[in-house]
Structure 1
């Protein structure tokens, strides 16, 4: 088998823009239109997008859930849609556009061969992720299982470009991160109202994706331990013991254990813990205003042991 050529450093973003234009023109990409608002809670200026329509994505999800035996048969990554293909990022992973994107230029970093989303991340995953993320300012994230917001059983990481909103140059939660330890040790962030484990990454590695990936894998394993998660061997593969979300930048990582996918009908994935939430209608928007975004996150997160 011939190894495909990898995307050269600095060329990924132009490829993303080019393929987005093509996918929009041919109808392969279906952006979901939203109306954005902000809600202040606990020192975080949460960005809440109200989604205008999710019928198409919901129908796909219903089909997968009602017919588990056919999940691999309807796997959108095997084969993937050529019009959504962006780059061969490594011999183990490729990059696709997210077909039903809420955020512009939302990318999926997908394993070439089928692997379960509940399998633990490995060095190849982190190397593919940072080969992308070191080429433009971005946030990486992972939804570890359906209860953490994963809609596909095929292993995939996700990347969204920063900033998430033109009104702010940083992630909504970042003002709180200044109080966290910056020496790489595990800690919790004062003010974040949900269970989590946090660690900074060495800023000197930001331009070295391979070394950054090595360090990130080591940090990820310690974050799992801190959150009370561990590897469960199934058919010779290391699988997660419980669902979780992972947020990744070139400067820090944060892991959030999960107990349920949604509360009051509001689904939360990893982006929620970065301060970006999504609602379907006015009723859900009012629910978030009533409960407070931080309380919504508390309700879906699991417990970190003392």
Structure 2
């Protein structure tokens, strides 16, 4: 992982550019309101994030052209941070979920639904390492496929500083879910596969790890659909991939979210919750206050959402896959 050199002090550079872009209106960032809910003894934070309302819908019509605008090919100068190796650049997210929310995108168009390449993963872990060397941590996530929460077809990985994910929460209320997931599977409503990242693995080793996780997730999804009598129609598997400086985790997805009666208005309105890769960080983002209140006041709804987005662990993985914690011998 040593071929990509990243300038010293990158977290401070990102923070300064974020503040400038926020003040100039080049990005949108609103304070979010958070609550911590217990799911089988695991703390999940639920954030009401108004910024999500401003995001354009994926594959939505363009106002002046049939070709959707691609924000990653020629990033606006106010949002551009730095090149990351020969094939990627780091930009600020125009619709920031937390302070200093960044995106690692390929310089040329590559599809978000195609498998990641070794140079993608090399750039991801070089960035994670640069933050760790500066005494900070990043949580990275990749959304792929129609049920993953993906909103842009151009290949990109998003990053949230872990400390910014804690904003508005009390000390000890919440920890990054991606840490220690191998020991938590029996309590998590959805099935996932996690692999440790140790030392400084080569791009080839990182890619091998990713492909192994993807293969296990694909097998789990195919087996589940066969036993459930459903047919995926041959479409590519939707999934979320999460990255920390010590792990890589995949979550195969069956649904982006679910609708439910909020019961908080008269007449009763239906809320819709859609989740992306932040779920592997133990963070669930909702764009409407009504849904936020409904989920906050009834933790059973949250557990149901988490069961529906992927393969329910209790109903499938423990029996069929013989889960023992980590994917023994696979990586």
CA radius of gyration, larger in: 2
| Alpha-carbon separation, structure 2, partners of 1:216 and 1:90 | 16
* CA positional deviation for 1:199: 1.5
- Please name the residue that 1:296 is paired with: 305
Residues 74 and 124 (structure 1), Cα distance of their counterparts in 2 relative to 1, 3 Å cut:
same
Native 8 Å contact 1:50 1:278 kept in 2 = yes
Residue from 268, 275, 279 that aligns with 1:272: 279
Superposed, which structure 2 residues align to 1:137-148 within 5 Å? 137-148=137-148
Q: 1:47, 1:172 within 8 Å by CA — same for their partners in 2?
A: no
1:80 aligns with 2:83: no
Equivalent-residue separation in structure 2 for 1:48 and 1:9 (angstroms): 34
> 1:38 maps to what in 2?
36
Give the aligned CA root-mean-square deviation in angstroms.
Answer: 2.8
Change in 2 beyond 3 A, CA 1:295/1:93: same
Match of 1:218 in 2: 208
Measured after TM superposition, the shift of residue 301 of structure 1 is 1.1
Give the distance between the partners of 1:281 and 1:257, measured in 2 at CA. 26
Q: Matches of 1:125 and 1:72 in 2, distance apart?
A: 25
1:73 is displaced (CA, Å) by 4.3
In structure 1, the partner of 2:265 is none
Q: Quick one: distance in 1 between partners of 2:159 and 2:84?
A: 13
**What is the distance in 2 between the residues matched to 1:281 and 1:215?**
41
Select the residue among 279, 283, 292 that pairs with 2:290: 283
Q: If the length of structure 1 is used for normalisation, what is the TM-score?
A: 0.81
Shift of 1:36: 1.2
Structure 1 residue 176, shift from structure 2 partner: 5.7
Instruction: Output one character per residue of 1:120-160: Cα deviation in whole Å (capped at 9) or x when no partner.
Output: 11111011111111111111110012320110010001111
Structure 1 partner of 2:12: 14
Asked whether 1:92 is paired with 2:101, we answer no
> Of residues 120, 135, 138 in structure 1, which corresponds to 2:115?
120
Aligned match of 1:234: none
How has the CA–CA distance of structure 1 residues 107 and 201 changed in structure 2, closer, same or farther, with 3 Å as cutoff? Answer: same
Alpha-carbon deviation of 1:71?
Answer: 7.0
**Unaligned segments of structure 1, at least 5 residues:** 1-5, 181-188, 231-239
- Is 2:128–2:138's contact at 8 Å kept on the other side of the alignment? yes
Report the CA distance shift for 1:175/1:144 in structure 2 as closer, same or farther (over 3 A).
closer
CA distance in 2, matches of 1:247, 1:175: 11
Is the Cα contact below 8 Å between 2:61 and 2:68 reproduced in 1? no
1:158 is matched with which residue?
A: 158
Question: Aligned pair 1:253/2:248, yes or no?
Answer: yes
2: distance between equivalents of 1:68 and 1:199? 43
